[in-house]
Structure 1
Amino acid sequence: MTRSLREWFKDYRLKQRIRKNRLVTKDGRCNIEFDNVMHRNRFAYVRDFWTTFVETRWRFIILYFVASFTLSWFIFGLIWYWLARSNGDLLWQNPPPDHTPCVYSVYDMTYAFIFSLETQNTVIYGNVYVTDQCPAGVALIIIQTIIGILISIFWCGIVITKITLPKKRAKTITFSESAVICPKKGTLCLQIRVANLRKTLMIGSQIYGKLLRTTVTGGETVILDQVNIDFMVDAGKDNLFFVCPLTLYHIIDKSSPFFDMAVDTLHQQDFELVVFLDGMAETTSSSCQVRTSYIPQEIMWGYDFLPIISRSEEGRYQVDFSNFAKVVPVPTAHCSRCYHNEPGNHLEGIDNKSFEVFDMELTNCNKM
């Protein structure tokens, strides 16, 4: 029991450290901080207040929503109270019996607040209204009504925009937790599996990748140096027919940054492979981008994905998602140089004698 808890805690700390060191998390969020930003640049968020509110978390949106209406009711309630006091309508002012109030039934601050809420939300509470002997009250009720409509329009737009954000559609696009390297169609390839969990298509889908690493050139250290990584499927790399899960592959040739890596050096590398999928949702015609990333510990050398598409006896196509994250060992050279018979100082060959199917887990990748 103690050993299992120790192993669980060790794996948990490893996952947390890996998550912290990523630039892009597995769910596509960018893990980066901005320091020493000039104060004048911070006002750019205020000038672009619409985008700032749209990108705000829901809990703060709800807080600002409630605060904006409550504050506007209270401020206009104070103005109505001041107007009633100026006209001598309050109870403590002892108005004469023939006195014509500016607003009927507004005798204290509580009634002023209720009338303010009634005016802004067109709710009727009873015999509370502005008299024709109070021009200032007529003007104030017009101003509050217009401001109340503008506040409602603003928050309706914010809520609708947040609900229809393309990020929500991206939640139904999933990548495999790990990538694999194995032979495919006569060459060595790095493969990734991606699936669309909805039956509606992603129109004009394009897939590409960026390899992020730290390089030293001429004594100059370049952090987050970006190298383009091309991915494709059997039908090409543009305008994918994304109706079922696809296996994307990157050819490891002399132009690939993975060409000099090997099974015994891969997990010693320091890089992050970020994969992007751009497309347009068929139902909403909104563009969205899905991102994920892979570190060396999440790339398995000498394994291939299991098939997940089959055909039933009735002739219908079926997708078995239970095999989406499963791999099987396949005979694979230890390095790309070995595969292409290029000179190198790596091990020779690899034997995968046990073809046991298992789930890809991060812990398995680290123990590999």
Structure 2
Amino acid sequence: MAGDSRIHMDHDMEIGVTPSEVKKLPKHMREAQIPTDRTHLIADPAKKPRQRYVQKDGKCNVHHGNVKETYRYLSDLFTTLVDLHWRLSFFIFTLVYIINWLFFGILWWLIALIRGDLSHGDEEGWTPCVENLNSFVSAFLFSIETETTIGYGFRVITEKCPEGIVLLCIQAILGSIVNAMMVGCMFVKISQPKNRAETLMFSHKAVISVRDNKLCLMFRVGDLRNSHIVEASIRAKLIRSQQTKEGEFIPLNQTDINIGFDTGDDRLFLVSPLIISHEINEKSPFWEMSKAQIEKEQFEIVVILEGMVEATGMTCQARSSYLDSEVLWGYRFTPVLSLEKGFYEVDYNSFHDIYETCTPPCSAKELAARLRDSQLFPQLSLFSPEPRHHSQNPPSLRDPLISAEEKEMTAMTATEEKGEAEERGSETINGMAATMEEKA
């Protein structure tokens, strides 16, 4: 038993499954558990790990270099400020206000210097442009008080300074524009929809197994918040290298993976975790790929979940990806939804858990051909070309793989039936020969 469990663990490590993610089979599956072929080719060269195009957290692993037309970023200044990192945003936020206060402080100081308020401000009968403004520091403080509308009441503009009145109007207008722009940038940055995407979960692994007599590629998505994503939709892309018939090499070719676009299954009601399924049919890029071929391929599946945030109405997008080593053949997801007294409960501790299930290693194309053959010739097995017992109910994809003992019993029965047929045939021939001799 210890050796058997060690073999199971070694196999899980080979295919990239951590032991904590693979749980024991559900109760209804334990009775039909049948050993599968776990052999692999030792001589096969180790496959190089693929560089991710999209990280697990949704960030795109693409860096833009040699961008010469940098002026395009300034043409959309608001978006540029919103896209900056937080440390740069705080630095620019502080720098803009300080520069604005300094600029108008210098103008107030120049007006006072030109009018002579700095030298004659203490004389009786002299009316300055701004009372109690006698230095550059006081001019800078008056600029801050004017733009922030603090109004301490110590420094105040007089009515005998038309240039000061004009400057006061200009500072009030420009100050309002600066406030609106900077506060708006900070508000949009705080309420960015990508922060809402942090509570949208994707399973660590994608699996391939049989569902309704067809091979399907599946992964799980979930939402941790009680506020729902409105009009949620999901789509997937297959990214891999491709060479055209003309010899052109495309390093990151993108191919759509149909996960219910034609049937409407891509529109999600994401209240509880859902298993998203891609049926591997004739239009699927995995149609002719068997288990062995998928293990040799290098590809990446990018998953994109979009919707509107219920609280703000802003569009939210969450992304994740699965490398070829993270697509496991012959597994299913452990159920996470249970019925409690008066409500449904979701166990997120089992969100990423999977268990192994009986899945034929052939491609979906070969499996469909075997299914058609089984409908035409019910005595043929879908999973094995060896003969089986005839029964009233034709075999289906839901039947488990036949064991070695069943194969031996079937072969022995077929041999006995063949021997009996040969004996009956020889008896018939001998009887016909005797009849012909009597007539002669």
Per the TM superposition, whether the score is higher than 0.5 is yes
Partner of residue 78 from structure 1, selected from 106, 122, 134: 106
Tell me the residue number matched to 1:46.
Answer: 74
Using the TM superposition, name which of 216-225 and 179-188 deviates more: 216-225
Q: Between Structure 1 and Structure 2, whose CA radius of gyration is higher?
A: 2
Q: Distance in 2 between matches of 1:320 and 1:257?
A: 34
Tell me the residue number matched to 2:301.
Answer: 273
Q: Distance in 2 between matches of 1:111 and 1:277?
A: 56
What is the DSSP-based 3-state SS (H/G/I as helix, E as strand, rest coil) of the residue aligned with 2:208?
Answer: strand
Letter in 1 for 2:345: Q
Partner of residue 34 from structure 1, selected from 49, 58, 64: 64
Q: Distance in 2 between matches of 1:320 and 1:253?
A: 32
What is the DSSP-based 3-state SS (H/G/I as helix, E as strand, rest coil) of the residue aligned with 1:169?
Answer: helix
Partner of residue 185 from structure 1, selected from 212, 215, 228: 212
Kindly indicate which of the two structures has a greater share of residues assigned to strand: 1
Q: Distance in 2 between matches of 1:66 and 1:299?
A: 48
**Unmatched 5+ residue regions in structure 1?**
1-16, 354-368
Task: Give the drift of 1:330.
Answer: 0.6
Partner of residue 194 from structure 2, selected from 161, 167, 178: 167
Tell me the residue number matched to 1:61.
Answer: 89
Tell me the residue number matched to 2:174.
Answer: 147
Task: Give the drift of 1:209.
Answer: 0.9
Tell me the residue number matched to 1:295.
Answer: 323
Task: Give the drift of 1:341.
Answer: 4.7
| Preserved contact between residue 193 and residue 316 of structure 2 (Cα < 8 Å) | yes
Q: Distance in 2 between matches of 1:115 and 1:202?
A: 49
Tell me, yes or no, if structure 1 residue 224 matches structure 2 residue 243: no
Q: Distance in 2 between matches of 1:259 and 1:310?
A: 34
Tell me, yes or no, if structure 1 residue 132 matches structure 2 residue 129: no
Q: Distance in 1 between matches of 2:235 and 2:346?
A: 24
Deviations 1:87-145 (A, max 9, x none): 11225x78644332221111111111111111111113342111222111111112111
Tell me the residue number matched to 2:333.
Answer: 305
**Unmatched 5+ residue regions in structure 2?**
1-47, 371-382, 386-399, 404-440
| Preserved contact between residue 53 and residue 60 of structure 2 (Cα < 8 Å) | yes
| Preserved contact between residue 235 and residue 266 of structure 2 (Cα < 8 Å) | no
Q: TM-score, normalised by structure 1?
A: 0.82
Deviations 1:257-307 (A, max 9, x none): 122333333232121111112222223222222211111011111111000
Q: Summarize the alignment of residues 201-212 of structure 1 with structure 2, pairs less than 5 Å apart.
A: 201-212=228-239
Number of aligned residue pairs: give it: 326
| Preserved contact between residue 205 and residue 326 of structure 2 (Cα < 8 Å) | yes
Letter in 2 for 1:284: T
Letter in 1 for 2:73: Y
Letter in 2 for 1:127: F
**In structure 2, do the counterparts of structure 1 residues 300 and 348 end up closer, same or farther at CA, with 3 Å as the change threshold?**
farther
| Preserved contact between residue 302 and residue 329 of structure 1 (Cα < 8 Å) | yes
Q: Distance in 1 between matches of 2:326 and 2:58?
A: 16
Letter in 2 for 1:32: V
| Preserved contact between residue 121 and residue 127 of structure 2 (Cα < 8 Å) | no
Task: Give the drift of 1:18.
Answer: 6.3
| Preserved contact between residue 212 and residue 225 of structure 1 (Cα < 8 Å) | yes
Letter in 2 for 1:278: E
Using the TM superposition, name which of 45-54 and 70-79 deviates more: 45-54
Task: Give the drift of 1:49.
Answer: 1.1
Partner of residue 329 from structure 1, selected from 350, 356, 372: 356
Tell me the residue number matched to 1:319.
Answer: 346
Q: TM-score, normalised by structure 2?
A: 0.69
| Preserved contact between residue 209 and residue 229 of structure 1 (Cα < 8 Å) | yes
**In structure 2, do the counterparts of structure 1 residues 144 and 197 end up closer, same or farther at CA, with 3 Å as the change threshold?**
same
Using the TM superposition, name which of 168-177 and 189-198 deviates more: 168-177
| Preserved contact between residue 259 and residue 266 of structure 2 (Cα < 8 Å) | no
Deviations 1:302-358 (A, max 9, x none): 11100000101x13111111110101111111132553356xxxx98998x9xxxxx
Tell me the residue number matched to 1:3.
Answer: none
| Preserved contact between residue 204 and residue 238 of structure 1 (Cα < 8 Å) | no
